[in-house]
Amino acid sequence: MYTTSDFRRGLRIEIDGQPYTILEFEHHKPGKGAAITRCRLRNLVTGQLVTPTMRSGEKVGTPDVEDKDGQFLFASGDTYTFMDPKSYEQYEISQEMLGEQTAFLVDGMQVSILFYQGKAVSVELPNSVVLEIVETEPAVKGDTATNATKKAKLQTGHVVNVPLFMKEGEKVKVDTRSGEYVERA
């Protein structure tokens, strides 16, 4: 069991039989009454965001979750298949549960698979991934001196703003948390 004083970003908790991860939290002490904790939580099974308010000292459960290393194999329709590299066991996760993370999945990518009560429910990607630009406007001589950007479509279909000097076929590093361009790879 955890109390609100144990809260930190990334902590996994269970409320009313549902597993959540803490995205943000804030302890607040109003002028009158007891202290409260405002939270922003993501449901680990459905991906839904909730914002409960709890009294200070309130207790929440510890979910039955487990992290395992995995490797992305392929996508078939709305189902994404991952494999445990040690046991070669395969797990399927729906696109609905992965959400926007599908824009960064590349064949063979190493990920961390989250299991809730023995069932694969979500995937944690590395903080950044290297992707190839497949479509963008051509570079123009003299465009390298400004901080202007242009849109570029990556091999996964994700669109990101890149500097004007980037060309098709070049590889870029993209932050998987924000979906933004980091640097040339």
pLDDT digits over 113-171, tens only? 988 888 888 888 898 999 999 998 886 666 556 678 889 999 988 899 988 888 889 99
Residues 76 and 45 in one domain: no
Residues 15 and 36 in one domain: yes
**Each residue of 20-71: pLDDT tens digit?**
988 899 988 888 888 899 999 988 887 788 999 999 888 999 988 888 999 9
DSSP three-state, residue 98: helix
**For residue 111, what pLDDT band results from cuts at 50, 70 and 90?**
very high
Residues 110 and 140 in one domain: no
Q: What pLDDT, on the 0 to 100 scale, is given for residue 41?
A: 92
Q: What pLDDT, on the 0 to 100 scale, is given for residue 123?
A: 85
Residues 7 and 54 in one domain: yes
Are β-strands 90-94 and 119-124 bridged in parallel, bridged antiparallel, or unpaired? Answer: unpaired
Rg of the chain on CA atoms, in Å: 21
Residues 53 and 95 in one domain: no
pLDDT, average across residues 77-98: 88
- Which of 17, 32, 60 represents a domain boundary (last residue)? 60
Q: What is the pTM of this model?
A: 0.73
**For residue 95, what pLDDT band results from cuts at 50, 70 and 90?**
confident
Residues 117 and 132 in one domain: no
Q: What pLDDT, on the 0 to 100 scale, is given for residue 144?
A: 59
Residues 48 and 75 in one domain: no
pLDDT, average across residues 105-110: 90
Residues 133 and 171 in one domain: yes
- Which of 77, 104, 124 represents a domain boundary (last residue)? 124
φ, ψ dihedrals at 154, nearest 5°? -95, 170
Q: What pLDDT, on the 0 to 100 scale, is given for residue 143?
A: 56
141 lies in which domain range?
128-184
Q: What pLDDT, on the 0 to 100 scale, is given for residue 30?
A: 85
Residues 51 and 33 in one domain: yes
Residues 87 and 43 in one domain: no
Residues 118 and 144 in one domain: no
Question: Cα dist. 70→6, 43, 101, 120, 149 in Å?
Answer: 29, 21, 15, 11, 35
Q: Is the pLDDT of residue 3 over 60?
A: yes
φ, ψ dihedrals at 25, nearest 5°? -155, 155
How many structural domains is the chain composed of? 3
Residues 52 and 13 in one domain: yes
Q: What pLDDT, on the 0 to 100 scale, is given for residue 116?
A: 87
The residue to which tokens 């996964």 are assigned: 156
What CATH number does the domain containing 70 carry? 2.40.50.140
